[in-house]
Amino acid sequence: MSGADLPTLPPVRLPTEAELARDALSVPLVSRAAALARWAEPGVPVGAGAELLAASLAGAVTALGLEAEEYGAELAVEAWNFAVDTGLVEITEEDEDAGTATAAPGADLDRLTGGAPEDVLDLWADGLEAVLADAATPTLEDLLGEDLESLDPAGLDLEALDWDADEEAAFLDSALAQLYLLAATDEKVAAGAMVPLPVVAAALVVPDEEDTEPEGTGEPSDETLEEVSAVMMRLDEQFRVLEGTGLLEYDPVDPALIVEESEGEAGPAPELPAEEEDLTRYGQVRLTPLGVYGVRRRMREAGLDAPAVGDLATADAAPLLLALPRRAHGAAQAEAE
Predicted local distance difference test score (pLDDT) of residue 328: 62
| Residue 57: Cβ within 10 Å count | 18
Predicted local distance difference test score (pLDDT) of residue 267: 45
Q: How far apart are CA 211 and CA 219, in angstroms?
A: 10
262 CB-contact burial (10 Å; exposed 0-12 / middle 13-18 / buried 19+): exposed
The model's pTM is 0.83
Predicted local distance difference test score (pLDDT) of residue 214: 52
**Dihedral of the alpha carbons of 14, 183, 180, 337, in degrees to the nearest 10:** -40
Residues of the chain with pLDDT under 70: 1-7, 97, 139-163, 206-218, 258-278, 320, 323-332, 335, 337
Backbone angles phi, psi at 308, to 5 degrees: -125, 150
**Order of strands, sheet of 44-47, starting from the edge strand that comes earlier in the sequence:** 44-47, 100-105, 89-95
Q: Which pairs count as long-range contacts for 294-303, CB under 8 Å and 24+ apart, including other chains?
A: 294/124, 294/125, 294/128, 294/247, 295/176, 295/177, 295/179, 295/180, 295/247, 296/12, 296/14, 296/180, 297/125, 298/173, 299/9, 299/177, 299/180, 303/3, 303/6
Predicted local distance difference test score (pLDDT) of residue 213: 52
Predicted local distance difference test score (pLDDT) of residue 222: 76
Predicted local distance difference test score (pLDDT) of residue 5: 57
Q: How far apart are CA 143 and CA 163, in angstroms?
A: 8
Predicted local distance difference test score (pLDDT) of residue 290: 98
